[in-house]
Chain A
Amino acid sequence: MTPGGWINLILSVGFVTGLLSWCLWRMLTCAPESKSLAHVEPVEKDEADER
């Protein structure tokens, strides 16, 4: 493994790990989702065919 290889590996893996971590952090710190009952699917098995 050359120094260039280490730099390449660290930058590439670091970038994707950092991007995912940042996205997850943004997700967790944003406003909570609002729930709307209007879109809830039927929970009864015999209504499955209604979908």
Chain B
Amino acid sequence: MARPIEAWTSRAGVILAVAGSAVGLGNFLRFPGLAAQYGGGAFMIAYFVSLLIIGIPICWSEWTLGRLGGRLGFHSTPGIYHVLIRRPWGKYLGVIGFVVPVMIYMYYVYVEAWCLGYALNAINGELTKPGVNVGEFFARFTGLNEDGVAIQFGLRDVGLFVLIAFVLNFFFIYRGISRGIEKVCVYAMPALIGIALIILVRVLTLGTPDASKPEQSLVNGLGYMWNPGDVRAGLLNPQLWLAAAGQIFFSLSVGFGVIITYASYLRKNDDVVLSGLTATAANEFCEVGLGGLITVPAAFVFLGAAGVAGQGTFGLGFNVLPEVFARMPGGQLFASAFFILLFLAAITSSLSMLQPGIAFLEEGLGIQRKASVALLGFITAIGALFVWYFSKDLKALDTIDFWVGTVLIFVQGTILVIVFGWILGVDRGIAEAHRGSLLRIPDIFKPVIKYVSPVFLLGIFVMFLLQKILGWNFQLGAEADFSPTAYVMDLLPGGSNVARASLLLIGLMLIFSVVLINVSGKRWAQRKLLTWEDEP
């Protein structure tokens, strides 16, 4: 009996799933912080230029490659590259497309547990009660001060929520594409946007809550984020371009290995161009239209510029905003809503990180859904436990996020756009994208995808390595300074054992994946590979 085919049940379903994968904590916490830090004018110019040069082109490339790979019988990055490249080494190019989502899940589920735990503690008033020390709460909840202390299971500890989040993810992923992922996203994404709109209305009506601090008004808060500043100087700052391009690239979740798998479950004539653009637009609306109007202005109104400046994603979300909600009228309600929103954003993203692993284990090893879920659950549980235990300074999380969630994604994204533009060929790629499409890709994007996107992405990647590894300050001559960052220093003698152990875990995962791909290749060699011209 033929094996039933997994597929999305509707166009809206796949769009909401891809948007769900893309929309995460970064939309509401990272983007606002970066825009405020670099000055809204130049940053937004660089941001939208990056959207046009790398965001949308790579998105279209990934949707197209995914649907084509699915038509040719594969759903994982190694399998899709195997059938498209048709060389013995082709499938190995996809190893990152398996490792990245699986390893990101290992720490992302931990952050997702924070969101769930914060939501519950907000609902029961723990976060907003008078005198609460939000910094201490965060440190205690996440195990920030010492390894091993986070493995506790009270309501004010993260352990229970890690278990709930982990089980929930695997419950839904076991149910498959349409009854699991799609069903979650069809409800979670509209709920997420609805909650965000409610919070947005609350924030935009804050006015000046503290009459003794008239400068801390909502309008000034918006100005702190959106006033252009020195646009020319900003555009000449390579760090600004690095931040803006990086934010676009990671926000859209392109090159993760997720969209290519999601798109592989489309039918051969399902649109990818308009669907991809819609998912991208939904992510941008959540980021710029909602995140850009909520987080920083709300923090400014209650805490002033000093309360916002220099805050990273976690600082803004789990230290600053609880402080904001504690001071806000009706803050308990809005704190609850906000952290439920973050949880919804997180779970729709974490689910997407599991499906590429499931797809590869099923088609590579020939095992059924139950076995692939169990195996992936075992692998990710080891990693999640590692991150959960080594919680001091979030060292394990930060190390894996840097090397896997940043460096490897740059590599994977570059590989993907080169496969589309050069190996498949941009003409064939665009023709494939136009199959069943509801929108034509403007001709200008052909040279952009083939030449501009790879060069721009590689340029950003090199700048990233120079800054984040060698610690270059982007100055020349006598003012140049190279101070290797902790990501390098941690690995040297006298550095961090946890960072070294994290690198070891990444290395083991890469080796394990290469072995799996080798085994899969032997199975796939026995299959007759469909070609571009075949109609399955």
Is B174 within 8 A of A5, CB to CB?
no
Is B281 within 8 A of A8, CB to CB?
no
B residues neighboring A (CB under 8 Å): 3-7, 9-12, 15, 40-41, 44, 48, 174-179, 219-220, 222-223, 226-228, 267, 270-271, 274, 277-278, 281-282, 284-285, 287-289, 292-293, 368-370, 438-439
A-B contact pairs, 25 of them (CB 8 A): A1-B220, A1-B226, A8-B40, A8-B228, A12-B226, A16-B284, A19-B285, A20-B281, A20-B282, A26-B274, A26-B439, A33-B10, A33-B11, A36-B267, A38-B5, A39-B5, A39-B7, A40-B4, A41-B7, A41-B177, A41-B179, A48-B174, A49-B368, A50-B3, A50-B369
Q: A27–B228 Cα gap in the complex (Å)?
A: 35
From A5, A16, A24, give the contact of B289 (CB < 8 A): A16
Main secondary structure of the interface of B (DSSP, over half): helix
Which residues of chain B are within 8 angstroms of A12 by Cβ–Cβ distance? 40, 44, 48, 226, 288, 292
Chain A nearest CB, measured from B180 CB (Å): 10
Is B4 within 8 A of A19, CB to CB?
no
From B6, B40, B288, give the contact of A16 (CB < 8 A): B288
Which residues of chain A are within 8 angstroms of B271 by Cβ–Cβ distance? 30
For the A-B complex with A26-B274, A47-B4 known, give 10 more contacts whose Cβ atoms are closer than 8 Å. Answer: A2-B223, A5-B40, A5-B223, A5-B228, A8-B226, A15-B288, A20-B281, A39-B5, A39-B7, A50-B369
Is A23 within 8 A of B174, CB to CB?
no
Which residues of chain A are within 8 angstroms of B282 by Cβ–Cβ distance? 20
Which residues of chain A are within 8 angstroms of B288 by Cβ–Cβ distance? 12-13, 15-16
Query: Which residue of chain A has the shortest Cβ distance to B227 in the bound complex?
Result: A5
Q: A42–B3 Cα gap in the complex (Å)?
A: 10
Q: A23–B9 Cα gap in the complex (Å)?
A: 20
Q: A6–B6 Cα gap in the complex (Å)?
A: 47
Query: Which residue of chain A has the shortest Cβ distance to B278 in the bound complex?
Result: A23
A residues neighboring B (CB under 8 Å): 1-2, 4-6, 8-9, 12-13, 15-17, 19-20, 22-24, 26-27, 30-31, 33, 36, 38-42, 47-51
Is A48 within 8 A of B278, CB to CB?
no
Is A15 within 8 A of B223, CB to CB?
no
Is B5 within 8 A of A17, CB to CB?
no
Is B292 within 8 A of A23, CB to CB?
no
Which residues of chain A are within 8 angstroms of B289 by Cβ–Cβ distance? 13, 16-17, 20
Which residues of chain A are within 8 angstroms of B15 by Cβ–Cβ distance? 27
Which residues of chain B are within 8 angstroms of A42 by Cβ–Cβ distance? 4
Is B226 within 8 A of A5, CB to CB?
yes
Q: A42–B274 Cα gap in the complex (Å)?
A: 29
Is A5 within 8 A of B222, CB to CB?
yes
Is A24 within 8 A of B278, CB to CB?
yes
Known: A2-B223, A8-B40, A51-B6. A41 touches B274 (CB 8 A): no
Q: A36–B439 Cα gap in the complex (Å)?
A: 22
Is B222 within 8 A of A19, CB to CB?
no
Which residues of chain A are within 8 angstroms of B226 by Cβ–Cβ distance? 1, 5-6, 8-9, 12
Q: A19–B410 Cα gap in the complex (Å)?
A: 26
Is A51 within 8 A of B4, CB to CB?
yes
Which residues of chain B are within 8 angstroms of A4 by Cβ–Cβ distance? 41, 227-228
Known: A5-B228, A8-B40, A39-B7. A16 touches B267 (CB 8 A): no
Which residues of chain A are within 8 angstroms of B10 by Cβ–Cβ distance? 33
Query: Which residue of chain B has the shortest Cβ distance to A15 in the bound complex?
Result: B48
Which residues of chain A are within 8 angstroms of B284 by Cβ–Cβ distance? 16, 19-20
Q: A25–B177 Cα gap in the complex (Å)?
A: 26
Q: A26–B9 Cα gap in the complex (Å)?
A: 19
Which residues of chain A are within 8 angstroms of B267 by Cβ–Cβ distance? 36, 39
Which residues of chain B are within 8 angstroms of A15 by Cβ–Cβ distance? 48, 288
Is A51 within 8 A of B11, CB to CB?
no
Which residues of chain A are within 8 angstroms of B9 by Cβ–Cβ distance? 40
Is A27 within 8 A of B7, CB to CB?
no
Listed residue (A9, A23, A24, A48) with the most chain B CB atoms within 10 angstroms of its CB: A23
Chain A nearest CB, measured from B133 CB (Å): 33
Query: Which residue of chain A has the shortest Cβ distance to B12 in the bound complex?
Result: A27
Is A1 within 8 A of B223, CB to CB?
yes
Query: Which residue of chain A has the shortest Cβ distance to B276 in the bound complex?
Result: A23
